[in-house]
Amino acid sequence: MPTTEATPYSRLATIYDHVMRHVDYVHWAHYVSSLLARHKVKPNRVLDLACGTGSLAIQLYRQKFDVMGADGCREMLDMAIEKARKLRYPIPFYHRNLLDLSDLPPCDAVLCLYDSINYLMSLEMIASALEEVHRIVNLNGVFVVDICTESNSRQYFSNMQSEDSGDGFSYRRHSYYEKGVQYNKFDIHFEDTDEVVKEVHQQRIYSLSAIEEIVDKSPFDIVGAYGGFGYAPPTEFSDRVHFVLKK
């Protein structure tokens, strides 16, 4: 059986919605909306950065936001475009990564969620991403970004193994956490070609203090930080942390 090594998400894209079917994007969209309201932001345009297959962007559109999406993976973006087309939602999608947002229109709010920022493997890369986002956010606009914590990685990704199957495919997933890096390894079997595809995903896990320090050095101000999907201040034991940064 032939085995192919693929770049992250390039082949996972076609089954991503199945793998992540447990994620409540409706709730996440409502939470984002509540954060914007909490900080008195009424955006005319919202950018969902690292939008993946467009699930969150679609939910935001249903909440009457003027939303657009951007992602660095062409294959994930193609899935997002097709989903929006089938729903007849006029959501524009752009092929851009976190470090290059050139030619994107200005926005009142930029989102980067589901720990997408953790894919930047150094604080210097995060600093560059903050500069890029700051460039396209309107004055008094916000950047809502979340991070995965070490507590989350140790609890849910410490030598976790699973397998599942769907229409025309099956996969095995091995997740583990080692020296500040979370790894997710996928072996995907596509039945139509009898091919096994391997993808390895890596995320750098940062402390809250490291993120706060790099934001303090950026053009943004931290105006809110919340543990999980609530409104209490975060701790190192929070599963994830949402930051609201203001220009």
At 99-115, the pLDDT tens digits run: 999 999 999 999 999 99
With pLDDT > 70 as the criterion, what percentage of the chain qualifies? 100
> Does 192 have pLDDT greater than 90?
no
At 17-39, the pLDDT tens digits run: 999 999 999 999 999 999 999 99
pLDDT at site 89: 98
Query: pLDDT-derived band of residue 237, with 50, 70 and 90 as boundaries?
Result: very high
pLDDT at site 193: 85
* Predicted TM-score (pTM) of this structure: 0.95
> Does 1 have pLDDT greater than 70?
no
Query: pLDDT-derived band of residue 2, with 50, 70 and 90 as boundaries?
Result: confident
pLDDT at site 158: 87
DSSP string across the chain: --EEE--TTTTGGGGHHHHTTT--HHHHHHHHHHHHHHTT---S-EEEET-TTSHHHHHHHHTT--EEEEES-HHHHHHHHHHHHHHT----EEE-BTTB-TTPPPEEEEEE-TTGGGGS-SHHHHHHHHHHHHHHEEEEEEEEEEEE-HHHHHHHSSSEEEEEEETTEEEEEEEEEETTEEEEEEEEEETTTTEEEEEEEEEE---HHHHHHHHHTSS-EEEEEEETTSSSPP-TT-SEEEEEEE-
pLDDT at site 208: 95
Question: In the predicted model, what is the mean pLDDT of residues 194-212?
Answer: 95
At 138-191, the pLDDT tens digits run: 999 999 999 999 999 999 898 899 999 999 999 999 999 998 999 999 999 998
